[in-house]
A and B are shown apart, each in its own frame.
Chain A
Amino acid sequence: MHELKKLKDIKLSDLEKKELFKRISNTILKKDSDTKLSYSIPSPFFSFSIRSSFLKVGFSAIFLLSITSATAFASLDALPGDVLYGVKTNFVEKIPNFIYFTPESRAEYSFKKIENRVDEFERLSAKGKLTKEKTERIEKDLNKNFNDFDENIRQIRERAKDNNNINRLEGELEVSLEQHSEKIKKIREKEREENKQALESVIERVRNRKENKQKNEENIKHEERNATED
């Protein structure tokens, strides 16, 4: 019976409908002069969009997506204190979590986020906008990123015992943090007293990692030496 719907193509034009409405409203007005009736020809866009609820939903989705994407994009350069910084850390940076399924890829992404935090600290300092509150905010997010990184490293170690990959990731992080911590130390020297403790956790973590790595290497060498002697 689908064919019968083709009869629906029989329609009045917009102009014909307007003319007909004029005739009707004139007759009504003759009897009741207080009545106000109006009929406007809808615009092509309006009539196109109103015909289908799917189209309405589609347009709304595109609109929302555009707004969301634009906001997300604008938030990429946001620093602590900016309105969009929350969008960046709580929304934009969490999106890739749905893409990265392996501990390796998640660890690499956590590493990237750690670098982002340190970069934010450096940019704020360069602009002279580093405050105690902003520093604390960065440290808080940074600790979260460090914990994520360590958790993923632990998972890699448990699942695959892939020491090469762990060494590579930890090594890259260490090199990166070493470079950043040097800069951070220099920034701290210039900063006011209240900011002297800024990013203490970064420096502390770098120091601890270095010490742990040295201990591990010494242990491994010691075990190898014992194995050779045996």
Chain B
Amino acid sequence: MNPHLSKLFEKAYRENTDALFRFVLYRVSDKDQALDIVEDTYLRFWQTLQKEAVLEPRALLYRIARNLVIDWYKKKKSIPVQTFAGENSEKTEVFMDMFEGNIIGVDVKLEAKMIIEKMAGLEPIYREAVYLRYVEELSPKEIAEILGVSSNVISVRINRGVSLLKSLLHI
């Protein structure tokens, strides 16, 4: 066993678990399901660490989590891969229920609820880029690595997504 890998894994867990949980929860709208997917994400991350050198642990974690969410959709729901939780009002409501009972205050809760509802109005490709850029504050390069497209494509998606979201938010 390489102690360096353990340290790397522990560091990655400390630094990314909240963000990964949000990322998955926003798509599956179920806390237990989100926790299961995050658990699987870390197990696969550990396997990858043992096989190869990982230069961008955060990007790899998001990539694994995203693929697991897509697998979950394929297996459980039999719905198109590009459809995400925000488009389903029932799922969004489940998400909100969990949201209310969690750690955030009333004001934030109402604002966050409104933002999630407005974000649901965006096409998935724009929503994902905007989410990763402005909620998780990843760079376009990191987002490009996660989604497997070029940085330019991501920049275009972010710009269009922001314009659409602004019009939805009446900003």
Contacts and interface: CB of A to CB of B under 8 A. Distances in A.
Interface of A: 1, 3-13, 16-17, 20-21, 23-24, 27-28, 32, 34-39
A55 to B, nearest CB: 18
A13 B22 contact: no
A10 B22 contact: yes
B111 A3 contact: yes
Contacts of A27: 39, 43
Contact of A24 (B22, B39, B134): B39
Contacts of A9: 103-104, 108, 112
Interface stretch (B12-20, B138-146, B147-155): B12-20
B115 A34 contact: no
Sort A-B residue pairs by CB-CB distance and give the 6 closest, nearest first. A9-B104, A4-B134, A34-B1, A1-B134, A11-B18, A7-B135
A36 B6 contact: yes
B108 A17 contact: no
Interface of B: 1, 3, 6, 9-10, 13-14, 17-18, 21-22, 25-26, 35, 38-39, 42-43, 46, 99, 102-104, 108, 111-112, 115-116, 119, 130-131, 134-137, 162, 165, 169
Given A1-B162, A9-B104, A36-B3, 19 more contacts: A1-B165, A4-B130, A4-B134, A5-B137, A6-B108, A7-B131, A8-B136, A10-B21, A12-B17, A13-B103, A20-B17, A20-B38, A23-B39, A24-B13, A24-B42, A27-B43, A28-B43, A28-B46, A39-B10
Contact of A8 (B13, B22, B42, B99): B22
B119 to A, nearest CB: 8
B116 A7 contact: yes
Contact of B9 (A5, A17, A37): A37
Contacts of B13: 21, 24, 39
A7 B22 contact: yes
A32 B165 CA distance: 47
B6 A20 contact: no
A37 B104 CA distance: 30
For chain B, what secondary structure do more than half of its interface residues adopt (helix, strand, loop), or is it mixed? helix
A32 B1 contact: yes
Nearest to A33: B1
A141 B95 CA distance: 75
Contacts of B39: 20, 23-24, 27
Given A4-B130, A10-B104, A21-B13, A35 B6 contact: yes
A111 B6 CA distance: 66
A1 to B, nearest CB: 4
Contacts of A12: 17-18, 21
A16 to B, nearest CB: 8
A191 to B, nearest CB: 66
B167 to A, nearest CB: 13
Most buried by A among B26, B112, B130, B169: B112
B40 to A, nearest CB: 9
Contacts of A17: 17-18
Nearest to A34: B1
A11 B42 contact: no
B1 A10 contact: no
